Chains A and B, each alone.
Chain A
Amino acid sequence: MENLKVRAKNLSLFYGDNPALKNISLDIPEKRVSALIGPSGCGKSTFLRTLNRMNDLIDNVRIEGEVLVDGINIYDRNIDVVNLRKKIGMIFQKSNPFAKSVYDNIAFGPRINGITKKSQLDEIVEYSLRQAAIWDEVKGRLHNSALSLSGGQQQRLCIARTLAVNPEIILMDEPASALDPISTSKIEELIHELKQKYTIVIVTHNMQQAARTSDYTAFFYIGELVEVNRTEIIFSNPSKKQTEDYISGRFG
């Protein structure tokens, strides 16, 4: 029996009057990788962004149902969204390092938490970069602009930046979709390493990636959760026809 870190219960999301997520109930086990798959527009990214309340930034969004993180509904009235996001980090589809140095990118999170001591920051920066398996590549140019790194390096830098805040859960929104195969495999290796300590939810439309990296897979279709199970079962013996059609490449 897995320890359930995040539990969505009857979650629906509307843009104005249009439902984008319909009555989703999904459990995310701790220190596992859960993949969300489905054709584009199916709501998988939208669902991901409900988990750290990133949808708050968009006007005109209404949410029903609840999302429990460690048993607390994050849509309760007196939730501290800022602290919630410290606990739940996010990696975006397009890598988005700040136009600052590598060092300042990583130190951004610790600094906003009030850490100013250089030795302490140095330590966190090195630790985070090592965890994101990019230390060896950037240790000589920590004070160069992060924008001078390659696309794959930038994405791993963003992962390191998230780790520096010490989250418990990491949400990844198609983190490798813009990367070449070598960078992609580095990210996938990294995900494998990270799940020792973090609960990871990854959105991908690359089914091989879902199969390679995840322990659990959830299939979304037009705002609904069609099926969720252990990854090997979803890919070998799906119970719904839609799932089978999708993973066998018949649509999407």
Chain B
Amino acid sequence: MLSRKGRGDKSGDSQVSFAGEKFRFSDWFAERFIKTVAFMSIAFVALIFIFVFREAFPVFRMDVKQKIGSVDLVQEKYGEEEVTPATANPVSGSAIKVSKPSSTLLSNIWMPVSDNPRYGLIPLFFGTLKVTIIALLFAAPIAILAAIYTSMFAKPWIREIIKPAIELLAGFPSVVIGFFALMVLATVFQDIFGYASRLNSFVGGFAMSLAAIPVIYTITEDALTAVPKTYIEASLGLGASRRQTAFNVVLPAAVPGIFAAVILGLGRIFGETMIALMATGNAALTSINPFESVRTLSATIGAEMAEVVFGDTHYSVLFLIGSLLFIFTFALNAISEFYFKNLVIRKYQSKK
């Protein structure tokens, strides 16, 4: 045996005293540093809020100035001024410039680049809504049914294939899906339905559903597997078939979770940019025909932001659209987070 003496090390010092708290700088610092970094996530969200809204704000201030200032007629004269940079202070320039942005916001025409620019958001909202509905009509049933199959009917080895496959679909860049829609789907659908404009809300909506399916599928699948086993066993024990159990017991219990899934899928579609840019045709029309082109809110930002002048009206209106998109997805997230999650938890807890 080695002798205990002669080690002469710190840990050999059995006089370690625990009376009196010892200050350890690395622990103190680590905790504060980690907390600070974690806090940055909140700060980022706040910064996104602030900076997207800040750039949108001049839309309204320009308007106020303009009302005090002059009438719309000057527009023709100063139309050229639209393209000169107004970086320093857009407000001062707008008093005479008179593009009356916010009074045209509710108009039916989106024509930002013209001598008489009009920033009517109605067709953009309409287009977004139309595409979203089409996409959701595809994505929600397919994703939910596929999730039901995976969690309730599939054999384990099939499940081991489906789940990673859908994860891989989630990993397809939207520009690839957009390209696929543009090159392949548009032609295929045109052959089938024989419509006139090759790119339209139907093609775009279908392509977007491919982006939303993994979102809806994953959350629905989670909700279905979260249904307590005791429910299923009780139902099977009473002589119900697997199918009856799936549709009469598991599905109703998972409804709040499925709602949350659809809501998040909705958010995904609503904000999708690249697919909209590439597959919807980008014409700001307000026809209810699904085979007509539309221009969505996000695609408008994507298509036009690179060409606008920093700080001018068009720039601000695009940020305003961004703000609206942000508010909308933020609200959807908040709803799915607080409302549905609580509902799911409460439901299971009360019955356990």
Contact = CB atoms under 8 A, between A and B. Distances in A.
Do A and B interact with each other, yes or no?
yes
Interface of A: 69, 72, 74, 76, 78-84, 86-87, 109-110, 113-115, 120, 123-124, 126-127, 130-131, 164-166, 168
Q: Nearest 10 A-B pairs (CB), nearest first?
A: A84-B18, A83-B18, A113-B11, A127-B2, A80-B18, A78-B21, A80-B22, A80-B21, A110-B11, A83-B16
Contact of B18 (A81, A109, A124, A127): A81
B116 to A, nearest CB: 65
Given A82-B24, A127-B7, A166-B11, 7 more contacts: A72-B19, A74-B18, A87-B16, A113-B11, A120-B9, A123-B2, A131-B1
Contacts of A120: 7, 9
A131 to B, nearest CB: 8
12 contacts: A72-B18, A78-B21, A82-B22, A84-B18, A86-B18, A113-B9, A115-B11, A120-B9, A124-B7, A165-B11, A166-B12, A166-B14
A241 to B, nearest CB: 39
A110 B12 CA distance: 9
Contacts of B9: 110, 113, 115, 120, 124
In terms of DSSP, what is the predominant structure of the interface of chain B?
A: loop
Contacts of A79: 18-19, 21
Given A80-B22, A82-B22, A126-B2, A164 B11 contact: yes
A81 B14 CA distance: 15
Interface in B1-56: 1-2, 4, 7, 9-14, 16-22, 24
A21 B13 CA distance: 34
B291 to A, nearest CB: 59
A81 B27 CA distance: 13
A166 B22 CA distance: 19
Interface of B: 1-2, 4, 7, 9-14, 16-22, 24
Contacts of B18: 69, 72, 74, 79-81, 83-84, 86-87
Contacts of B7: 120, 123-124, 127
A130 B11 CA distance: 17
A23 B14 CA distance: 31
A131 B4 CA distance: 11
Contact of A109 (B1, B11, B14, B20): B11
Contacts of B14: 87, 166, 168
Most buried by B among A126, A164, A166: A166
Most buried by A among B2, B4, B14, B19: B19
Contacts of B17: 80, 83
Contacts of B20: 78, 80
A187 to B, nearest CB: 19
B14 to A, nearest CB: 6
A7 B52 CA distance: 63
A127 B2 CA distance: 6
B22 to A, nearest CB: 5
A130 B19 contact: no
A120 B9 CA distance: 8
B10 A115 contact: yes
A110 B22 CA distance: 18
Nearest to A77: B21
A164 B2 CA distance: 13
A81 B24 CA distance: 12
Nearest to A112: B11
Nearest to B4: A127
A86 B11 CA distance: 9
A130 B21 contact: no
A189 to B, nearest CB: 15
A110 B8 CA distance: 12
Nearest to A120: B9
A164 B4 CA distance: 11
A80 B17 CA distance: 8
Contact of A113 (B4, B10, B24): B10
A86 B21 contact: no
A94 B148 CA distance: 39
Nearest to A71: B19
Contacts of A130: 1-2
A73 to B, nearest CB: 9
Nearest to A126: B2
A168 B13 CA distance: 11
A240 B13 CA distance: 43
A131 B21 CA distance: 31
B3 to A, nearest CB: 9
A71 to B, nearest CB: 10
Contacts of B4: 127
B23 to A, nearest CB: 10
A82 B16 CA distance: 10
Contacts of A69: 18
B2 A114 contact: no
A24 to B, nearest CB: 21
A81 B17 CA distance: 10
Nearest to A109: B11
